[in-house]
A and B are shown apart, each in its own frame.
Chain A
Amino acid sequence: MSSEAIETTTVSVPDGSPVLMLAEFDNPTACVRAAEKLRDAGYKHFDAHTPFPIHGMDKAMGLKDSRLGWIVFAMGLTGFSTACFIIWYMNAFDYPLIVGGKPPLSFPSMVPVCFELTVLFSAFGAVFGMLGLNKLPRHHHPLFESDRFRAATDDKFFLSVEYADPKFDPERTKELLSSAHPTHIEIIEDTQS
């Protein structure tokens, strides 16, 4: 199928925004195949936009494993040490409390609070770490200028390629995307260029 056969539209975004080429697919398999083509052609600045996570897309895009686990691990250690520290400071150092004949710092009674704070801090690490890695919240993005893109949270599958990618060439990229049988191609363009 040649690129002419695929309907192409253009959307303008406010000045200064990066520009994207957006290919639309109506099933996940076609989208994954297209991502593989981009990866194999050496593109780096491209992304898939899908209504749900697609099994195998990470590999198709050539993504490295998420680094989130390390953030959570560090936060978990912080939570555990915080719990140990506050218990020691409050009940053994600043105001030693002798209760039930136990030493001021008795390990068995520290377990529940140490556990809970480890979990609490780790959960904060997981949520805010995820948002940080994803650079969210971000309520403005050139993609939101496209009306068709709204279906990305419904039943359509998109690939976006940034013009900033060193491999990007308006004609050749379009041809590459077209070879993967998208149902539509949209160019999200800076009005000044």
Chain B
Amino acid sequence: MSYDPPIAELDEKHLVKPGTTFKDITDTVSRVTETPAPRGWWIAFLTALTFTGVLGASIGFLFYRGVGVWGNNSPVAWAWDITNFVWWVGIGHAGTLISAVLFLFRQKWRTSINRFAEAMTIFAVICALIFPGIHVGRVWHAYYMFPIPNSMGIWPNFKSPLLWDVFAVGTYFTVSTLFWFVGMIPDLATLRDRAKNALRRTVYGFLSLGWRGSNRHWQNYERAYMILAALSTPLVLSVHSVVSFDFATSVEPGWHATIFPPYFVAGAVFSGFAMVQTLLLLSRVVYKQNNLVTMTHIELMNKIMLATGTIVGYAYAMEFFIAWYSGNPYERYVFINRATGPYAWAYWTMISCNVISPQLFWFKKLRTNIPLSFVLSIFINIGMWFERFVIIVTSLHRDFIPSSWGYFHPTMIDISIYLGSLGLFFTLFLLFLRWIPMIAVAELKGVLPQASVHHDDHAHDDDHAQLPATAEGAAE
């Protein structure tokens, strides 16, 4: 990463407020982990921790009584649990997109939000992994999912998309964690070197692996980072594609569609960006980091939501078109039933949140409005949850034989496990904010104007570095 002056013709803004020094960045970011947590953090943390407790109790009850405590029934065997799984995995995608895809495209504005987004990915995938684990029913046999020798002498079926999912989500979680940790090593070293007490020095010292900023190390480090980004890019596209195969390879009307992989990936990015936006706006208020996370970031993210939301809207329209054009009566019925049947309320919630609400972002006034961005990011999160609910439940509740049609009602345990997973997510996220540099310090320093090496003789003219863009931009 290096510094590029903003392009005046494109109306680009500075990535970081002009005049910010290296030390300002170190201090602003590190201080959060060094000073006592603000009251708001404690309130949020204890609330989240309570919900995590609810999650633990509900899962305990589920293990004790069995999956009958959910509202799942015979036609609707996949309900909230798989909805939650797909929703959480989808949310994770934005983190990888920001950290890997935007890195490869040299989108330097990502530097102040990538750590954040990657943390979100990992915690979202942790929440997601709970659901298939507890959905298996006989949890003590959950290890059958993995290709390990067992007493039956039988191996998993590698032709099943459910097994592909184990590999895809497992790889995704592992690679995301490695990527996150590698990106964090230099910043953990910064915290180690600032440590005032032995405990912090030991813990951050241990975690930073003895990093000493050596250029011989940076060389391999930067290469490793780029390779991980290049690996994560196809990986993130594959994960939601494989999740969509769980549906698309079945012969269920409403699921059996070739549009599913790209449609799921677009939806995943859409929901993930909404979640990043929600978290970013919240912590921007709590920690007052307006110099590092600027309006430019918020506006760019809103633009991505507009783009992906429109792709998702197009996919919804295409599903209807194909249902009519294919001439398949089951397919056609599923879609008419989706929009007008007993789950029409869910369908129209989804359309309002996912297709209509992001269209407001066409207007600059609205996409630079912070309260509105926050509200819309929540709407999109809700809409994307409903998308998965609609796909799963409306397709299952009325399939080929009308005598086995049914309706799904969630139970208290469905609701408490879902809310509990949100609690777990926020607990992990708040711990991250508290103890880990939430902004990639080393990377952000690299995009400051004074980070670039001057190719002239005024080598130590530091003031020159403070306002380069205006000077250089005007000269060009």
Judging by beta carbons under 8 Å apart, are A154 and B26 in contact? yes
Judging by beta carbons under 8 Å apart, are A91 and B214 in contact? no
Asked, given contacts A119-B234, A153-B213, whether A91 binds B157 with beta carbons under 8 Å apart, the answer is yes
Q: Which of B198-245 contact A (CB under 8 A)?
A: 205-206, 209-224, 227-228, 231, 234-235, 238, 242, 245
CB-CB contacts of B440-463 with A at 8 A, as 1s and 0s? Answer: 011101100011111000011010
Judging by beta carbons under 8 Å apart, are B210 and A123 in contact? no
Q: Which partner residue on chain A sits nearest B447 by CB separation?
A: A52
Judging by beta carbons under 8 Å apart, are A68 and B22 in contact? no
Judging by beta carbons under 8 Å apart, are A27 and B465 in contact? yes
Bound together, the chains give a CA A99 to CA B206 distance in angstroms of: 50
Bound together, the chains give a CA A69 to CA B452 distance in angstroms of: 26
Judging by beta carbons under 8 Å apart, are A30 and B213 in contact? no
CB-CB contacts of A149-175 with B at 8 A, as 1s and 0s? Answer: 111111100100000000000000000
**Is B77 part of the binding interface, using a Cβ–Cβ cutoff of 8 Å?**
no
Nearest-Cβ distance from residue A180 to partner chain B, whole angstroms: 9
Nearest-Cβ distance from residue A50 to partner chain B, whole angstroms: 5
Nearest-Cβ distance from residue B80 to partner chain A, whole angstroms: 26
Pick from B154, B158, B219, B220 the residue with the most CB of A within 10 Å: B158
Nearest-Cβ distance from residue A51 to partner chain B, whole angstroms: 6
Judging by beta carbons under 8 Å apart, are B224 and A52 in contact? no
Q: Which of A49, A52, A68, A141 contacts B443 (CB 8 A)?
A: A52
CB-CB contacts of A91-120 with B at 8 A, as 1s and 0s? Answer: 100110101101000100110110111011
**Is B193 part of the binding interface, using a Cβ–Cβ cutoff of 8 Å?**
yes
**Is B171 part of the binding interface, using a Cβ–Cβ cutoff of 8 Å?**
yes
**Is A90 part of the binding interface, using a Cβ–Cβ cutoff of 8 Å?**
yes
**Is B147 part of the binding interface, using a Cβ–Cβ cutoff of 8 Å?**
yes
Nearest-Cβ distance from residue A79 to partner chain B, whole angstroms: 10
Bound together, the chains give a CA A153 to CA B208 distance in angstroms of: 11
Nearest-Cβ distance from residue B234 to partner chain A, whole angstroms: 7
Q: Which partner residue on chain B sits nearest A86 by CB separation?
A: B147
Judging by beta carbons under 8 Å apart, are A52 and B442 in contact? yes
Judging by beta carbons under 8 Å apart, are B453 and A113 in contact? no
**Is A23 part of the binding interface, using a Cβ–Cβ cutoff of 8 Å?**
no
Binds A, one of B136-144, B160-168, B331-339: B160-168
Q: Which of A57-110 contact B (CB under 8 A)?
A: 57-58, 61, 63, 66, 68-69, 72, 86-87, 90-91, 94-95, 97, 99-100, 102, 106, 109-110
Judging by beta carbons under 8 Å apart, are B159 and A72 in contact? no
Where chain A touches its partner, the secondary structure class is helix
Judging by beta carbons under 8 Å apart, are B205 and A139 in contact? yes
Chain A: residues with Cβ within 8 Å of the partner, total of: 73
**Is A48 part of the binding interface, using a Cβ–Cβ cutoff of 8 Å?**
yes
Q: Which partner residue on chain B sits nearest A53 by CB separation?
A: B218
**Is B256 part of the binding interface, using a Cβ–Cβ cutoff of 8 Å?**
no
Q: Which partner residue on chain B sits nearest A98 by CB separation?
A: B159
Chain B: residues with Cβ within 8 Å of the partner, total of: 74
Judging by beta carbons under 8 Å apart, are A112 and B21 in contact? no
**Is A47 part of the binding interface, using a Cβ–Cβ cutoff of 8 Å?**
yes
Bound together, the chains give a CA A72 to CA B175 distance in angstroms of: 14
Judging by beta carbons under 8 Å apart, are B228 and A55 in contact? no
Number of A-B pairs whose CB atoms are under 8 Å? Answer: 224
Asked, given contacts A112-B168, A141-B212, A153-B193, whether A55 binds B460 with beta carbons under 8 Å apart, the answer is no
Nearest-Cβ distance from residue A103 to partner chain B, whole angstroms: 10
Bound together, the chains give a CA A124 to CA B1 distance in angstroms of: 23
Pick from A122, A155, A158 the residue with the most CB of B within 10 Å: A155
Asked, given contacts A27-B462, A50-B213, whether A112 binds B245 with beta carbons under 8 Å apart, the answer is yes
Where chain B touches its partner, the secondary structure class is helix
Nearest-Cβ distance from residue A142 to partner chain B, whole angstroms: 10
Q: Which partner residue on chain A sits nearest B175 by CB separation?
A: A123
Q: Which of B164, B193, B234 contacts A113 (CB 8 A)?
A: B164
**Is A5 part of the binding interface, using a Cβ–Cβ cutoff of 8 Å?**
no
Judging by beta carbons under 8 Å apart, are B215 and A61 in contact? yes
Bound together, the chains give a CA A29 to CA B461 distance in angstroms of: 9
Q: Which of B168, B171, B212, B220 contacts A133 (CB 8 A)?
A: B220
**Is B297 part of the binding interface, using a Cβ–Cβ cutoff of 8 Å?**
no
Judging by beta carbons under 8 Å apart, are B190 and A54 in contact? no
**Is B2 part of the binding interface, using a Cβ–Cβ cutoff of 8 Å?**
yes
Judging by beta carbons under 8 Å apart, are B167 and A116 in contact? yes
Judging by beta carbons under 8 Å apart, are B453 and A139 in contact? no
Judging by beta carbons under 8 Å apart, are B210 and A33 in contact? no
Bound together, the chains give a CA A137 to CA B206 distance in angstroms of: 9
Asked, given contacts A29-B459, A119-B231, whether A110 binds B158 with beta carbons under 8 Å apart, the answer is yes
Judging by beta carbons under 8 Å apart, are A52 and B445 in contact? yes
Asked, given contacts A51-B22, A95-B154, whether A144 binds B224 with beta carbons under 8 Å apart, the answer is no
Q: Which of B166-213 contact A (CB under 8 A)?
A: 167-168, 170-171, 174-175, 178-179, 181-182, 186, 189-190, 192-194, 205-206, 209-213
**Is B155 part of the binding interface, using a Cβ–Cβ cutoff of 8 Å?**
yes
Asked, given contacts A56-B453, A126-B224, whether A116 binds B238 with beta carbons under 8 Å apart, the answer is yes
Judging by beta carbons under 8 Å apart, are B223 and A68 in contact? yes
Q: Jot down 6 A-B pairs with beta carbons below 8 A, ordered by A.
A: A58-B215, A90-B156, A113-B164, A139-B209, A144-B210, A154-B190
Q: List 7 additional contacts besides A66-B223, A113-B167, A181-B459; criterion CB under 8 Å.
A: A27-B462, A61-B215, A86-B147, A102-B159, A124-B178, A130-B221, A141-B210
Nearest first, the 5 closest Cβ-Cβ pairs linking A and B are A90-B155, A155-B22, A137-B209, A130-B224, A48-B215
